[in-house]
Amino acid sequence: MIDLLDKHRPIADRIARMLAQGVNAVGVTNDAILSPTRAIIEGRETILAGTNNYMGITFDPDCIAAGQEAMARFGTGTTGSRIANGNYAMHQALEEELARFLNRRHCIVFTTGYQANLGMMAGLAGSNDTIFLDADSHSSIYDGCTLSGAKLVRFRHNDATDLDKRLVRSEGEEGGRLVVLEGIYSMLGDRAPLADFIEVKKKRGFQLLADEAHSFGVLGPHGRGLADEAGLEDEVDFVVGTFSKSVGAIGGFGAGNHPLFDMLRYAMRPYMFTASSSPASIATSLAAVKKLAAEPWRRDRLRENSARLFHGFKGLGLELGCDAVSPVIAVKCADEATAVAMWNALLAAGVYVNIAVPPGTPNKLCLLRCSVSAAHTDADIDRIIELFGEVMAAGHGRMAAAG
């Protein structure tokens, strides 16, 4: 008999090597969460610099109160999908609020951000269509493409010229063409050069989807994401996002202006065949979206904090994932062993960051990934920089700065 789990022994060996160096870097337990920027980990109060809590909204009293009230009124869960018994008035209220925030006619809310990409890819594209995908796209986008059954064509990361060449090669093929970009790419923190891609769109003709998961609430004068920042929202056909970053909850959404957009509800299996979001999650998300609209100071503060950490790391001589200031700031490491060693040293010193290693990273990079929050103080940011400097001075600097 062939043991089905034998194929995972290399993963077990990899985890064993990680544990031999210290704490499980991909399974850290937060013993207590003290605030959006503090937790107790391994018995120590630790600065959180790897949570994607961009707006620092997870402990907002109004959002907490909204969730508590919803749980008391509507219970702990819906126990059904949106097309069965799980369609509550508050789900529709959140969709309407998001549509207003995004300046889109239609919005559909999903139970998770991952399902939002699964559903949108599979709902928009079918077996006769082609999806053109940035090579550095998130796993949920790739999995959505697989679920759709569409032909998948990858183009080089952030390379509109390469996309143009691949579109030319596909001319004459049957079916529609969907191009997928991300506002902020989650590993390196770089943005899609949206204007370049729009120029290709005008020449070649396709429908464009922007995944604003890490840019929703963050970029643009209204906080709507990269398209808002670039002033090109009318050129983007569909938008996808998540509640697990700036909104501080669980869920996701897809939005657009197409007159048939709402028909996706009856075509997307990840939407149709999963239980809808809990009342508490929907209520906290609704309260948070209203705050994003009413409190632009959160975006201003996030930009200030991001610039402070970015320039502080540059001052240490660290090699970063991209040259633009972003709330995602990734430090390149020479190899996996170096990344694990430096991650453990940082955690012991009092700061938690994400470790990101292949195959989850582009170009087989090994990264220590920081995500900045509007809730970080100047002192928090300066302390993170200081601890990185101390860890480097203790013997990890040459390796961490290697690229």
pLDDT digits (tens, 9 = 90+) for 163-198: 999 999 999 899 999 999 999 999 999 999 999 999
Residue 395 in this model has a pLDDT that exceeds 80: no
What distance lies between CA 387 and its chain's CA centroid? 26
So what's the pLDDT on residue 51? 96
d(CA 17, CA 19): 5
Number of C-beta neighbours around residue 272 at 10 A: 15
pLDDT(344) > 80: yes
Tokens representing residue 24 in the block: 């499980």
Q: What is the pLDDT of residue 360?
A: 87
Model confidence at 207: pLDDT above 50: yes
Confidence (pTM): 0.94
Give the lowest-confidence range in 60-69, 131-140, 390-399: 390-399
pLDDT score at 260: 98
Query: What local confidence, expressed as pLDDT, does residue 142 receive?
Result: 95
Name the pLDDT band for 396 (thresholds 50, 70, 90): low
Q: How far apart are CA 154 and CA 134, in angstroms?
A: 6
DSSP-H helix ranges across 47-158? 61-74, 89-102, 113-124, 139-148
pLDDT digits (tens, 9 = 90+) for 248-273: 999 999 999 999 999 999 999 999 99
**In CATH, which of 3.90.1150.10, 2.170.120.12, 3.40.640.10, 3.40.50.970 is domain 75-294?**
3.40.640.10
Which CATH number is associated with domain 6-58+296-401? 3.90.1150.10
| Mean pLDDT to the nearest integer, 298-322 | 97
Q: 């900045």: which residue's tokens?
A: 372
- Considering all CA atoms of the chain, what is the largest pairwise distance in Å, rounded to the nearest integer? 62
Q: Are 244 and 116 in contact (CB under 8 A)?
A: no
The answer on pLDDT for 400 being more than 60 is: no
Q: Where in the chain is the domain with CATH 3.90.1150.10?
A: 6-58+296-401
Helices (H), 171-278: 194-204, 226-230, 269-272
| Nearest in space to 183 (alpha carbons), one of 247, 226, 242, 134 | 226
Distance CA 400, CA 403 (A): 8
Q: Where in the chain is the domain with CATH 3.40.640.10?
A: 75-294
| Res 399: pLDDT | 46
Which residues lie below 8 Å from residue 105, measured CB to CB, with a gap of 6+? 99, 256, 257, 261
For the chain, what percent of residues have pLDDT higher than 90? 94
Mean pLDDT score of the chain:
95
